[in-house]
Chain A
Amino acid sequence: MNEQPKPKKQIGAPMNRVDARQKVTGAATYSAEYQLPNMTYAVLVGSTVTKGRLTGIDTKAAERAPGVLAVITHLNAPKPPSPKPEGKDPSQPQTQGNPLQVFNDDKIRFNDQPIAVVVADSWERARYAAGLVQAQYAKEAHQTNLEANADKAFLPTAAKKNPKHPMNDYQRGQVDAYKTGAVKLESEYVIPTEVHHPMELQAITAHWEAPDRLTLYDKTQGTLATRRDFAKQWNLPEENVKVIATYVGGAFGNALHSWPHESAAILAAKVVNRPVKLMLTREQMFTMVGYRPYTWQKLGMSATPDGKITGITHESIGQTSTYEEFTEATLAQTRMMYQSPNVTTRYRLAALDIGSPIWMRGPGEATGAFALESAMDEMAYLLNLDPLEFRLRNYTDEDPEKNKPWSTKFLKECYKLGADRIGWSKRQLKPGSLRDGDWLIGYGMGVGTFGAHRGAATVGAQLLPNGTVLLQCATTDIGPGTGTAMTQIAADTLGISPDKIKFELGNSSFPKAVTQGGSSTVNSVGPATQEACLALKDKLRTLAGAAFSTAKAEDITFEGGQTVMRNDANGKLPLQIGLRNNPSVKVSYSDILRQNGQQNVSATVEAKPGGEGQKYSMYSFSVHFAEVRVHQLTGEVRVSKLVSCADAGTIVNEKTAGNQMKGGAVGGIGMALMEHARIDDRFGRYVTKDFADYHVPVHADSPAVEVAFVNQPDPHVNALGTKGIGEIAIIGVAPAIANAVFNATGKRIRELPITPDKLI
């Protein structure tokens, strides 16, 4: 008898992206690429002052320009029925206050705030006419400098209102205990404003299909969040708003919020009663779609001479706008990463005349980790200890903040993997010990962590007459490869080949799911996919006949699509259901459908977290090791080697997961060495307005990043064992590089980015 062929396991395999071909051939359609009949094009006009009032706006010349259909300003804009949605929905970013309403009043709150939108029959004509709009302002004094406003920093309103809010001051043990420690340090750190700048510009195509039905082709990380925001704004039932984001060309967080240009496009489409396409310029990407906020931090730490931390105090002031309070978890890692009987954290905001920030990859944690992990290195140096050894002496086997066991923590394993691969043993305690000609060589490490978040998600699964399976979910894929990972999970659950499975996403009409953000997609949508597939199998076996419905679940095989290699034949296995102990009993999927007179079999299942979060502290962990070369005369820094190791639970796809880690590492190089959005405070305007001034790493700045995963399932987060990767990929990279620079040069740079001028 023939051996039953074993299907190849897909979870873990380095499967190619399911949409790779569409993406590289240009067949994938992004939000600016939808062509609707009667399309019109919109261009925003921005304020050239930073604060004040519009006293006049002359749109005549623009209105007369060829092809112009409308020029909309606060003077003639229709007011959406609900102009002030509350910004307090828990699935919204943590903002308090009201997202900016465009063209709602004459008030200028930040430079480049949209003051008009010009709609024309071509993009070029709209752009030309936009240049003809003339505005007059009554200027008021503005504030765009955080340091100058540090004395006015305040506790976020959400924290003031709710003593349990995580943005409140945190205290364990004695207040500011570090001040009396045996060995102590106190350092200040600054990270400047960084801008997400995904390759795809922010764009939307808005189409009122009927006076009360709106379709948006929009760059968003959450089709449902966007639907909810604009349904609310226009007082429509949610089902009347459809949001499509099939492909998103990167976002890094900047599509986690509803922004002024989206409102402007929807308004404009209402006015001209035709579909409107609006795409921001790279310059506008600096000013109105969020950024990583400029943050000042102070970190005090004390330790015993033998390297036990006795106190940490971590304070930060992050910038926000005057109309929204954006908060992020800058101080979270400090509270849970290392043992310390005494920990104090204080989080404050400074409201400036600037657009609102928004989470940027590894959001507050990446900012906070720069201070914490730099301070760890500084303390290790003071103690004359290897920084890895210092971290091991302060390792935590349970969460010291919540006093709960970790669901899983394999950070020690990560340390070992990374240290071996970077060649940590070459590192010398004394800075400046290693060199290659004029290049000084140094090694540094930085640790990152991020909550293993999971939310509710629903996936719909259908078996189609041709025997293939279609899965649908409203979640988005901004680049990590969500569709690919879900296909792998479905393939393993169903026992059929991935090419017989299609996973559709990025559409608000599909079953509900979380916004793609906070490294939570696989954690949330993965189990929903798995359960929907299980439910589908269950239905199938009921329909397949008595032999199957009465058999024990483990005796039933689902298979198909895989290429089978046998002595006698080389062929594709049909999609079929069978019995393990009786291979002659088999029914193909298409027969099941036919016999039951059904077009398809479907199952829609919601999966959500249970009480595991009460019992365990659930986090992903990462450590990054950097080898840098610093030129002793020119101060140039080159990252010559970067090793990133992660404990992210089960790795669903080695290739896409590795790709996430590498992308994060490159983002970290940018954060450490070059990214800096600079404002001239006299004008409140950015002087870095394009990629010639705002540098992100090029290939020559990025060494081949080595990635290693512990790949141990976390049995508590979900049944798949995943914990999330996107954020920990960048958290801790910048301090690893800064620490390596110190090890190479003896220079401690506490203000990012580490540019040559700071090292000579």
Chain B
Amino acid sequence: MNQFQYVRPTKQQAAIEAVAKDATATFIAGGTNLVDLMKRGVMTPQKLVDINRLPLTRIDADPGKLRIGALALNSTVADDKQVRARQPLLALALNAGASAQLRNMATVGGNMLQRTRCSYFYDTTMPCNKREPGTGCGALEGINRMHAIFGFSDKCIAVHPSDMSVALVALDATVQVSGPKGNRSIPFAELHRLPGDMPQKDTTLEPGELITAVDVPDGPFTKHVHYQKVRERASYAFALLSVAAALDLDSNNIIKAARLAMGGVAHKPWRLTAAEQALVGKPATEETFRQAATVAMQGAKAFKHNAYKLQLGPNTIIQALKTAASAA
């Protein structure tokens, strides 16, 4: 672990400036991801700007939307009455992540900005373009079981590991950001980026930009929702692949609106808009789900060790939709 400075500002502006002015500085929230990466020498910030004294923990139940503070804990959000009533999909996704202990430390802002779990990224002796641009992608021809089937580049085939983000992208959330140039909102689907030629850049945030909150608009998805996470053990494992599904059904079981997103398949949470459209207006039956799953998988491409995702993807979509449709 390298040596670093540590500051804990109480003013948002001071925190932003501290990071904006110093290319080697970084925010720290729960630290459950950053500290691990620092211990392994994957991230070597010279200065840690602890944001835990900023007043960003509130969950505001506004008319039409929930505004969740960036420092709200994963466990707090998952247990929040308003969240459970208005956005049950988000609560399900949060509870599918990590362990109770970690959820008690992890923040909403930190969760969406957690970095990939690619083993090559984590091992500083291995090539990795994300960690050290230009060294090559260790996973491309390596053990790429956990890797992407959508949106990758020949520079990086990593996946974004967050469960919460899969629900947030499905729910059309918006990220509130404050930076050296002022405040802005980013549609959740535009927060994370594809690797392209710059896999070192996970998101579209500018240096010094602080996430202050995430807004989740109210919608009709309060009942028929499901987060299906497939993993190698029953709990406490990252997803091989996951699906967030939300349906709005009429009294004849016809789908009025649908939301669908996948995790563990791309460098960002993967919204499946074409598949959503394929669902709307159709009866909520396995056949409909199967067709949507086929649409969803168009363009998927596998590597040596992750071909199973081409089958697991549609299967998990079907299962998620079936469970969502039958949720009482």
Interface stretch (choices B121-129, B208-216, B219-227): B121-129
Is B26 on the interface with A (CB-CB < 8 A)?
Answer: no
Contact flags B220-241 to A (C-beta < 8 A → 1, else 0): 0000000010111111111010
Our count of residue pairs bridging A and B at CB distance below 8 angstroms stands at 88
Cross-chain contact A697 with B233 (CB below 8 angstroms):
yes
Which residue of A634, A673, A687 contacts B143 across the interface (Cβ within 8 Å)? Answer: A687
Contact at B228–A698, with CB atoms within 8 Å? no
Provide the residues of chain B in CB contact with A683, threshold 8 Å.
Answer: 125-126
Task: Indicate the member of A678, A692, A755 with the most B CB atoms within 10 Å.
Answer: A692
Stretch with Cβ within 8 A of A (4 or more), from B149-157, B196-204, B315-323: B315-323
Candidates B1, B142, B231; contact of A680 at CB < 8 Å:
B142
Q: Is there a chain B Cβ closer than 8 Å to A682's Cβ?
A: yes
Cβ contact within 8 Å between A692 and B41: no
For residue B120, CB closer than 8 A to chain A, the reply is yes
Contact flags B113-139 to A (C-beta < 8 A → 1, else 0)? 000010110110110000000000010
- Contacting pair A635 B312 (CB below 8 A): yes
Chain B residue at minimal CB-CB distance from A700: B234
Q: Which residues of A contact B237 (CB under 8 A)?
A: 692, 695
Measured CA separation A131–B40 after assembly (Å): 10
B251 in the interface (beta carbon within 8 A)? no
Output the nearest chain B residue to A696 by Cβ-Cβ distance.
B233
* Known A-B contacts A131-B1, A682-B142; A689 and B123 likewise in contact (beta carbons under 8 Å): yes
Docked CA distance A635–B311 (Å): 10
Cα of A11 to Cα of B163 in the assembled complex, Å: 51
Nearest-CB distance from A392 to chain B (Å)? 34
Query: What B residues does A758 contact at CB under 8 A?
Result: 308
Determine which of B138, B228, B233 lies in contact with A700 in the assembled complex, contact meaning CB atoms within 8 Å. Answer: B233
A757 touching B233, Cβ below 8 Å = no
Residue in B142, B230, B232 whose beta carbon sits within 8 Å of that of A687 in the complex = B142
User: Does residue B3 face the partner (Cβ distance < 8 Å to A)?
Assistant: yes
Q: Contact at B233–A756, with CB atoms within 8 Å?
A: no
**How many B residues have CB within 8 A of the partner chain?**
35
- How extensive is the interface on chain A, given as a class? 35 or more
In the complex, A642→B123 CA distance in Å? Answer: 38
Q: A756, B142: Cβ atoms under 8 Å?
A: no
Q: Which residues of A contact B322 (CB under 8 A)?
A: 438
Q: Which of B122, B138, B318 contacts A633 (CB 8 A)?
A: B318
**Mostly helix, strand, loop or mixed at chain B's interface?**
loop
B238 touches A700 (CB 8 A): no
Chain B positions within 8 Å of A698 at CB level: 233-236
Whole-angstrom distance from the CB of A73 to the nearest CB of chain B?
Answer: 18
Chain B residues within an 8 Å CB radius of A128: 1, 3
Contact (Cβ within 8 A) B319 A634: yes
Cβ of A549 < 8 Å from any Cβ of B?
no
Q: Mark A430-441, 1 if CB is under 8 A from B, else 0.
A: 000000001000
Asked if B145 is at the interface (CB within 8 A of a chain A CB), the reply is yes
A687 and B1 CA atoms in complex are apart in Å by: 20
Residues on A with C-beta less than 8 A from B120 are: 687
Bound Cα distance A328, B232 (Å): 29
Q: How far is the CA of A141 from the CA of B91 in the complex (A)?
A: 51
Interface residues of A in 223-242 (CB under 8 A from B): none
Provide the bound-state CA to CA distance between A634 and B123, in Å. Answer: 30
**Min C-beta distance of A112 to chain B, whole Å:** 10
What's the least CB distance linking B160 to chain A, in Å? 15
A223 and B2 CA atoms in complex are apart in Å by 38
Q: Which of B2, B119, B142, B315 contacts A688 (CB 8 A)?
A: B119
CB nearest to B319 among chain A residues: A633
A314 interface contact, C-beta 8 A: no
Task: Indicate if the CB atoms of A760 and B143 lie closer than 8 Å.
Answer: no
- CA distance in complex: A30, B290 (Å): 56
Question: What is the bound-complex CA distance between A673 and B231, given in angstroms?
Answer: 11
In the complex, what residues of A have CB within 8 A of residue B122's CB? 689
**Residues on the B chain within 8 Å of A756, using CB:** 230, 232, 240, 308, 312
Contact A685-B125, Cβ < 8 Å, known A636-B230, A680-B142:
yes
- Whether B233 lies near A695 (C-beta < 8 A) is yes
Are the C-beta atoms of A634 and B234 separated by less than 8 Å?
Answer: no
A634 engages B233 (CB within 8 Å): no
A692 neighbours in B (Cβ, 8 Å):
117, 237-238
Determine if B316 and A633 form an interchain contact, defined as CB atoms under 8 angstroms apart.
yes
Shortest beta-carbon distance from A202 to chain B in Å: 19
Instruction: Please give, as numbers and ranges, the residues of chain B lying within 8 Å of A755 by CB-CB distance.
Output: 232
Q: For residue B262, give the distance in angstroms from its CB to the closest CB of chain A.
A: 13
Q: Tell whether A634 pairs with B228 under 8 Å between CB atoms, given A757-B145, A757-B308, A760-B312.
A: yes
**Is there a chain B Cβ closer than 8 Å to A693's Cβ?**
yes
Question: Could you tell me if A685 and B123 are in contact, using CB atoms closer than 8 angstroms?
Answer: yes
- Which residues on A sit within 8 Å (CB–CB) of B238? 692
Contacts of A463-499 to chain B: CB distance below 8 A: none
A688 to B238, CA, bound (A): 13
A207 is an interface residue with CB less than 8 A from chain B: no
- In the assembled complex, the CB of B91 is this many whole angstroms from the nearest CB of chain A, namely 18
Chain B residues within 8 Å of A685, by CB:
123, 125-126
What's the least CB distance linking B318 to chain A, in Å?
A: 6
A438 CA / B2 CA spacing, docked (Å): 50
Chain B residues with Cβ below 8 Å from A693 are 117, 119
Q: How far is the CB of B68 from chain A (nearest CB, A)?
A: 26
Complex Cα spacing A758 to B145, Å: 12
Cβ-closest chain A residue relative to B313 = A760
Within 8 A of B (CB), among A655-691: 673-674, 678, 680, 682-683, 685, 687-689
Within the complex, what minimum Cβ distance (angstroms) separates B14 from chain A?
A: 29
Chain B residue with the shortest CB-CB distance to A697: B233
Rounded to whole Å, the gap between the CB of A367 and the closest CB of chain B is: 21
Cβ-neighbour of A757 out of B119, B240, B319 (below 8 A): B240
Cβ–Cβ < 8 Å partners of B312 in chain A: 634-635, 756-757, 760
Is A127 part of the binding interface, using a Cβ–Cβ cutoff of 8 Å?
yes
B233 touches A678 (CB 8 A): no
A701 within 8 A of partner (CB): yes
**In the complex, which residue of chain B has the Cβ closest to the Cβ of A283?**
B40
Contact: A701 with B119, CB < 8 Å? no
Is A122 interfacial (CB-CB < 8 Å)? no
Q: Taking the complex as formed, is A638 at the interface, i.e. its CB lies under 8 A from any CB of chain B?
A: yes
In this complex, the member of B142, B234, B311 whose beta carbon has the largest number of chain A beta carbons within 10 angstroms is: B234
Known contacts A634-B316, A756-B312, A680 near B143 by CB under 8 Å: yes
Please name all residues of chain B whose beta carbon is closer than 8 Å to the beta carbon of A171 when the two chains form the complex. none
Is A48 in contact with chain B by the CB < 8 A criterion?
Answer: yes
Q: Quick check: B308 and A678 within 8 Å, CB to CB?
A: no
Question: Which of A680, A688, A700 has the largest count of B CB atoms less than 10 A from its CB?
Answer: A680
Interchain CA distance A124-B38 in the complex, whole Å: 14
Nearest-CB distance from A100 to chain B (Å)?
A: 20
Partner of B138 from the list A131, A636, A680 (CB cut-off 8 Å) is: A680
- B45-69 contact mask (Cβ, 8 Å, vs A): 1 or 0: 0000000000000000000000000
In angstroms, Cα B230 to Cα A48, docked, is 34
Residues of B within 8 A of A631 (CB): 319
Let me know if A131 and B318 touch, CB within 8 A: no
B236 proximity list for chain A (CB < 8 A): 698
- Bound-state CA distance A699–B234 (Å) is 8
Docked Cα-Cα span, A678 to B142, in Å, equals 11
- Does the CB pair B315–A634 fall under 8 Å? yes
Q: Which chain A residues border B231 with CB–CB below 8 Å?
A: 636
Give CA–CA (A758, B230) in the complex, Å.
Answer: 13
Q: How far is the CB of B297 from chain A (nearest CB, A)?
A: 13
**B235–A700 contact, CB under 8 A?**
yes
Nearest CB of B to A631, in Å:
8
Q: Are A760 and B138 in contact (CB-based, < 8 A)?
A: no
Question: A701: which B residues are within 8 A, CB to CB?
Answer: 233-235
**Central interface residue in A127, A689, A757, A758, by most chain B CB within 10 Å:** A757
Select from chain A the residue with minimum beta-carbon distance to B305: A757
- The B299-328 residues at the A interface (CB cut-off 8 A) are 308, 311-312, 315-316, 318-319, 322
Pairs A–B under 8 Å by Cβ, sample size 5: A633-B316, A633-B318, A634-B319, A683-B126, A695-B237
Given contacts A689-B122, A755-B232, 4 further A-B contacts (CB under 8 A): A131-B1, A680-B143, A692-B117, A760-B312
The 9 A-B pairs with the shortest beta carbon distances in the complex, nearest first, are A757-B308, A700-B234, A687-B119, A633-B315, A48-B125, A700-B235, A633-B319, A634-B230, A701-B234
